[in-house]
Amino acid sequence: MNPNPANNRNIIFLVIVAALGYFVDIYDLVLFSVVRVKSLTEIGVSASDLKADGIFIINVQMFGLLLGGLLWGILGDKMGRIKVLFGSILLYSLANIANGFVTTVNSYALIRFIAGIGLAGELGAGITLVTETMDKEKRGYGTMIVAGIGLLGAAAAATISENFSWQTSYFVGGGMGLMLLLLRVGTFESGLFKHAANQKQVSKGNFFMLFSKKERLLKYLYCILIGIPLWFVVGILVTLCREFGQELHATETLDAGKGIMFTYFGIAIGDVVTGLLAQFLKSRRKTVFTFHCLSVVSVVVYLTSYGLSGSAFIWICLFMGFSVGYWATFVTIAAEQFGTNIRATVTTTAPNFVRGALIPINLLFGYLASKYSNVTAGFIVMGILTLIAMFALSQLKESFNKDLDYLEE
């Protein structure tokens, strides 16, 4: 049992606030991808530079996420999970409001960098807080709700950007974040963190502790590696659907915007199903393994769908998204593998390092695509990533029902 268990009403409120926070986080995270062409065109970027400038800005945002993951993770273990939730959401909310006023590519990139730092803290701190506060037999339901509701933020970003200007879309994201700060006033700190904070001799938020023991370092790497197939599906297979569609002789030009939106719909549904399945099987490892196998099937379906239509592509995106919908379970596994004094550090950095892994994955895919084809490269990379993820999963101990009231030494 947790040292200071809260009543059910407080726990439900905490889960709802964490879920809404992740909703705003995902909205802001994907918004640039959704409004890229519209916003860059309006600030004067030529059609020939849209791709290069867009990649530059998204890479700067990703770099912000990597730095932010380290910053907020360490602060979460040193100062508390609640302070990170407040600080991160305030930073990215103000950044998104400022984003509505950018007039140059460089100012755009700078603001997305700041937003990226802020966005990095939301999920890790929220999942850490929920896992440490809820009963160990039921915490999987809490993280399932957080991710299931949160990932619908991508659909909200696509819907709002279709009906309003790109500036208004950023203002809405910032406004939602600031309103969430008012809700956050009613949340409470993790009892486990308070218990650890009182032990002055214990090192807290020390990122280098992960490197002090070989066993601990390998466990951390395995936690990261089990999530890498997800970002290959979203970041390459769906994002580059135009190029894949050409090789598959699609009957029309495939729409990446719709593809991403329906992929996130699928991920949200998958997160709910994986959460329920983990509770039923009482095993997160078996659940993630099952979905790794399912994701291979979905990618094979996609890469063999010659003569693909736009409507069929959307259904395939929904299927692929569902099959990689183990994001919340993956983050929960990371949270459950480590002691309270570095738990927030791990839970905040791991998902951001998974996102950052898309950079070397992109390089590998680009090299293979230049030698063979996009479709062949897709098969090879998905195969490699799935084998790596399954091996990493096999090396981790089952964490379902694990007591989290312990410290790393």
pLDDT at site 3: 46
Q: Biggest alpha carbon distance in the chain?
A: 65
CA pair distance 278, 276, nearest whole angstrom: 5
CA pair distance 216, 246, nearest whole angstrom: 45
Q: CATH 3.30.70.20: does it fit domain 209-397+405-409?
A: no
Are 130 and 142 contacting, i.e. CB atoms less than 8 angstroms apart? yes
The average pLDDT across 385-403 equals 85
Of residues 218 and 133, more confidence is placed in 218
pTM of the model: 0.78
Are 14 and 130 contacting, i.e. CB atoms less than 8 angstroms apart? yes
Average pLDDT over the chain reads 82
Amino acid identity of 329? T
Q: Which residue has the tokens 């440490």?
A: 132
Give the confidence band of 214 by pLDDT, cuts at 50, 70, 90. confident
Of residues 285 and 30, more confidence is placed in 285
Instruction: Pick from 105-109, 210-214, 355-359 the range whose average pLDDT is largest.
Output: 105-109
Instruction: State the alpha helices, DSSP H only, in 151-255.
Output: 153-163, 166-184, 191-197, 214-225, 228-232, 241-247
8-state DSSP, 137 = T
Residue (of 160, 178, 173, 389) closest to 288 by Cα position: 389
> φ, ψ for residue 59 (rounded to 5)?
-65, -40
pLDDT at site 6: 47
Amino acid identity of 270? G
Q: Percentage of residues in the chain with pLDDT exceeding 90?
A: 21
**1-199 CATH fold:** Growth Hormone; Chain: A; (1.20.1250)
Residue 34, pLDDT above cutoff 60? yes
Residues 6+ apart with CB under 8 A from 358: 62, 231, 232, 235, 236
**What's the Rg (C-alpha) of the chain?**
20
Using a 10 angstrom Cβ sphere, with 0-12 exposed, 13-18 middle and 19 or more buried, the burial of residue 384 is middle
The average pLDDT across 370-376 equals 88
pLDDT digits (tens, 9 = 90+) for 287-343: 999 999 999 999 999 999 898 888 899 999 999 999 998 887 888 888 888 877 777
Helix axes 214-225, 340-356, angle to 10 degrees: 50
Amino acid identity of 20? L
Are 263 and 392 contacting, i.e. CB atoms less than 8 angstroms apart? no
Six-digit token pair at 314?
């959307």
In the chain, where the domains are located: 1-199, 209-397+405-409
pLDDT digits (tens, 9 = 90+) for 128-146: 777 777 777 777 788 778 8
pLDDT at site 198: 55
Residue 27, pLDDT above cutoff 50? yes
Q: Which residue has the tokens 């593998």?
A: 337
pLDDT at site 290: 94
pLDDT digits (tens, 9 = 90+) for 68-84: 888 888 887 777 667 77
Residue 1, pLDDT above cutoff 50? no
pLDDT digits (tens, 9 = 90+) for 163-201: 899 999 999 999 988 888 777 665 555 455 455 555 555
Distances (CA, A) of 299 to 197, 229, 327: 46, 11, 17
Q: How many residues does the chain have?
A: 409
CA pair distance 140, 189, nearest whole angstrom: 19
Domain 1-199 and domain 209-397+405-409, same fold? Reply is: yes
Are 266 and 319 contacting, i.e. CB atoms less than 8 angstroms apart? yes
Are 89 and 24 contacting, i.e. CB atoms less than 8 angstroms apart? yes
Residue 1 CB neighbours (<10 A)? 9
Residue 2, pLDDT above cutoff 50? no
Residue (of 128, 122, 124) closest to 190 by Cα position: 128
